[in-house]
Structure 1
Amino acid sequence: MGRLEGKVAVVIGGTTGMGLATAKRFAEEGAYVFVTGRRQDVVDEAVHAIGESAAGVKGDLARLDDLDRLFDTIGRQKGHIDVLFISAGAGHMGEFVATVTPDVFDHTFNVNTRGVLFAVQKALPIFRDGGSIILNSSIAHRKGMPGASVYSASKAAVRAFARGWTMELKERNIRVNVISPGPIDTPFTQPAPQAWKDAMTAAVPLGRFGQPSEIAAAALFLASDESSYITGIDLCVDGGLTAV
């Protein structure tokens, strides 16, 4: 029996990279998985890749009407949620304090912070007691990274959400945890300059970028009963980058 047998899981941003790897792993472990993405063709491709135990709903984390439609669809089709992993996010690098624009700030916080808040809020009416909420942050909130302060701040807010929601949802035994990935080989990092990739690789004690499957393994642990006594944590999956 899989570790998520009979569970209903939602992966927001589950069509590429870490989100898709996690959705696949959840399905392999017995969950029925809903994934979201902003393009219907990409959503359809992801559902095909995950298999029969998956459904897709086109939507943008930053759009509240899309979130309403997502959770209305899940409620009608399955009636409840056991696991929510919010993987979607927006990143703007090279945005320095002297030049950052209101548009960059608004877009980053609308997706990474506002979207996360209202996704959880709108999921709660159909969330089963004893379930697991997993928020995707970043090691950027732990490091001083020139040109990434807006992104880092938006991810620090996600970490703060998890602390507060751990206390607010404890009576329902809903666990809230954060994953903070380090450099991961995804479509987000692949176009980055090679000099940056080399510098990051040299800084990681394990000497390499992580793989989406390694984020999926961490998410599976936090989604399953194997982490039943863990809530409110920030799990850095970063090859040791922030630990030493």
Structure 2
Amino acid sequence: MSNVFSLKNKVAVITGGASGIGLAMAKRFISSGAKVVIGDLSDATKVAEQIGATFIKVDVSDEESVKKLFENTRAQLGPIDIVANNAGICPEFKTLNEATKNDYEFAFKVNTLGVAFGLKYAPRYMNDGGSIINTSSLSGKMGVFGLGAYCSSKFSAIGLTQTAAVELGDRNIRVNAICPASVNTAMAQENDQSQLEMEKIMIPLNRIAEPEEVAAVAHFLAADDCAFINGQAINVCGGMTAGIGPRLWEKLAGSAGDEK
């Protein structure tokens, strides 16, 4: 049983791996035996050295840069087994009436094109039977006030995931997406704290996720043990989508009472 969910000798590439969810994935994959490349726009040389990974700079919004990431990985470490298209950004909170073309372009060039380019080039340098994991969001399955640009870019990531799962099936390359609610990362903490407090009320577990908890789902999807899971978008939301819990019920009931 010691080999359960082992990633021994697997080669993994993680975009957005310098911090947050991506870094948690890198650490977990390495602890399970994988050789990991962190791809990021920020210089993660020191971080990579500390955890035993390799750093390759990449701009996921640039097609040629993404291609070179996978080319260089294969040249340095051999054929790739696992790819996590994880890099992402969140634009400012704006209603649909307020959002501009630039807001949509900002979200789509990273959250959507970053996944699309990864799905285009990674398979060329992958072993058959590999696994691709795209980081979408719970906001890729449901609308959120003020996050039209972000939601639409993350919905697109799920569409790309399902299309790739169909197209790459003949090579036994599985493609799945992870859809977290808010996660305790620097990016989340930079946002309006009222959003995080709201989610804590909505989530039955009464907290947001930790990066390591999302990384655990990525590990599950990366392992050969999960060879028949394909084309899925898995919620990591602490039960937020399961229904209305007591804290939310009390909050809503109290608000309704205040209005009377």
Aligned partners of 2:165 and 2:150: how far apart in 1? 23
Q: CA deviation at 1:71?
A: 1.4
TM-score (norm 2): 0.89
Instruction: State which structure, 1 or 2, has the greater radius of gyration over its C-alpha atoms.
Output: 2
SS in 1 for 2:189: coil
User: Is 1:13 paired with 2:16?
Assistant: yes
Offset of residue 86 of structure 1 = 1.0
State the secondary structure of the residue aligned to 2:183.
coil
Q: Which residue of 1 aligns with 2:92?
A: 93
Partner of 2:59: 60
- 1:72 is matched by which residue type in structure 2? E
Partner of 2:216: 217
Query: Which has the higher mean CA deviation after the structures are superposed, 12-21 or 156-165?
Result: 156-165
Structure 2 match to 1:46: 47
Q: Residue in 1 aligned with 2:158?
A: 159
The equivalent of 2:182 in structure 1 is 183
Superposition deviation, residue 122 in structure 1: 1.1
Q: Which residue of 2 aligns with 1:132?
A: 131
1:106 corresponds in structure 2 to 105
- Contact kept in structure 2, 1:178 and 1:233, CA below 8 Å: yes
Deviation at 1:49, TM superposition (A): 3.0
Could you say what the CA RMSD is over the residues aligned between the two structures, in angstroms?
Answer: 1.3
Instruction: Provide the residue aligned with 2:35 in structure 1.
Output: 32
**Residue 235 of structure 1: aligned partner:** 234
Q: What is the distance in 1 between the residues matched to 2:190 and 2:120?
A: 34
Residue correspondences, number: 240
Counting aligned pairs with the same residue, the percent is 35
Helix, strand or coil at the partner of 2:56: strand
Kindly provide the amino acid, as one letter, of the partner of residue 9 in structure 1: A
Q: Which amino acid aligns with 2:176?
A: N
* C-alpha deviation, 1:45, in angstroms: 2.6
Relative to the length of structure 1, the TM-score reads 0.94
**Unmatched segments (≥5 aa) in structure 2:** 244-260
Can you give the 5+ residue segments of structure 1 that lack an aligned partner in the other structure?
Answer: none
SS in 1 for 2:190: coil
Q: Which amino acid counterpart does residue 213 of structure 1 have in structure 2?
A: E
C-alpha distance in structure 1 between counterparts of 2:102 and 2:148, whole Å: 15
